[in-house]
Amino acid sequence: MTHLLSVNGISKAFGGNQVLKSVTFDLQKGEILGLLGPNGSGKSTLLNAISGFTAVDSGTVTVGDKRIDKMPPHKIISAGIARTFQLPAMPAKMTVMEVVMTAGTRHHGLWDGLLSLPSGRQAEKEDHQKASGLLETLLLTKVRDLPAAALSGGQKKLLGIACALMGDPAILMLDEPMAGVHPNLRQELAETLKTLSRTGISLIIIEHDMHFIKSLCERCIVLDRGHIVASCHPDELSKNQDVVDAYLGRGSRALKEAV
Ligand SMILES: Nc1ncnc2c1ncn2[C@@H]1O[C@H](COP(=O)(O)OP(=O)(O)O)[C@@H](O)[C@H]1O
Ligand SMILES: [Mg+2]
């Protein structure tokens, strides 16, 4: 596998709260990497740092040989990194389909569109087909004409994934994609993510559902108070004392229930 993303020594403090402490890890092409850790350990902040939503204090992030850690979020998206949010908010007046279309990064061509030139219409038609396909994949076809804000929390998560995929990312980062998703849909979502990874997309997934993580990931990294304390196969987690300590506090023995 080829090295795709390199995070080197990322640190971030909010006031006196040192949330990320020299975080270093790599992501390979086509890899599905689990990002684990107890609440407040810095997982979402790490995704925010990589995607440019939070400026880091020190450290570097590179995609291939391109430094992205000083770039604004829209340039990072153009560099091939898309992400979803832990608590997705959707515009009140747009339909599901409209929201996905807005996430298309292709330029329809203002003048082409205004003058109804074939190139503008063609690009829009292609985006529409792509959006329809993504809504189908993410089981949202039935709600495509409803206001996006009316979706359930789980459906909003799926819509967030559809939007992220409109830009054909090389790397997709998901912040707790399973939270709020109906149990019947979870297996299908796992299969969809596996299919994506087979097409060459690399994934970083923050998730507390260990069954989901074990079914998808060959490797997990575990954050504890801003430090990476483990990088291993998910089956190894329960035997790793640092992971047990992260979840249960030092000295605890009831580790099987946590991981
Ligand atoms: N924008 C922010 N301003 C101040 N503190 C923040 C901000 N974002 C996150 N934090 C703090 O960083 C810590 C880690 O938060 P977070 O990355 O959301 O953890 P996790 O996703 O692992 O639950 C928490 O103490 C949180 O309060
Ligand atoms: Mg979080």
Q: Is the pLDDT of residue 230 over 90?
A: yes
Nearest CA to ligand 1 atom 16: 42
Neighbours of 230 (CB within 10 A): 20
What does the pLDDT average to over 96-110? Answer: 78
Neighbours of 147 (CB within 10 A): 16
Contacts (Cβ under 8 Å, ≥6 apart) of 74: none
Instruction: With residue 184 as reference, give the H or E element that holds it.
Output: helix 183-198
Q: Give me the CATH topology for the region 3-92+153-248.
A: Rossmann fold (3.40.50)
Nearest CA to ligand 1 atom 1: 14
Per-residue pLDDT at 115: 60
Which residues have CB under 6 Å of ligand 1? 14, 17, 19, 37, 39-45
pLDDT tens-place string over residues 153-198:
889 999 999 999 999 999 999 999 988 888 888 888 898 899 889 9
pLDDT tens-place string over residues 48-91:
999 999 999 999 999 998 999 999 999 999 999 999 998 888 88
Q: Is the pLDDT of residue 100 over 60?
A: yes
Q: How far, in whole angstroms, is CA 37 from its chain's centroid?
A: 16
pLDDT tens-place string over residues 111-137:
555 566 556 677 788 899 999 999 999
What does the pLDDT average to over 140-147? Answer: 96
Q: Is the pLDDT of residue 2 over 80?
A: no
Calculate how far, in angstroms, residue 173's C-alpha sits from the geometric centre of ligand 1.
17
Per-residue pLDDT at 1: 47
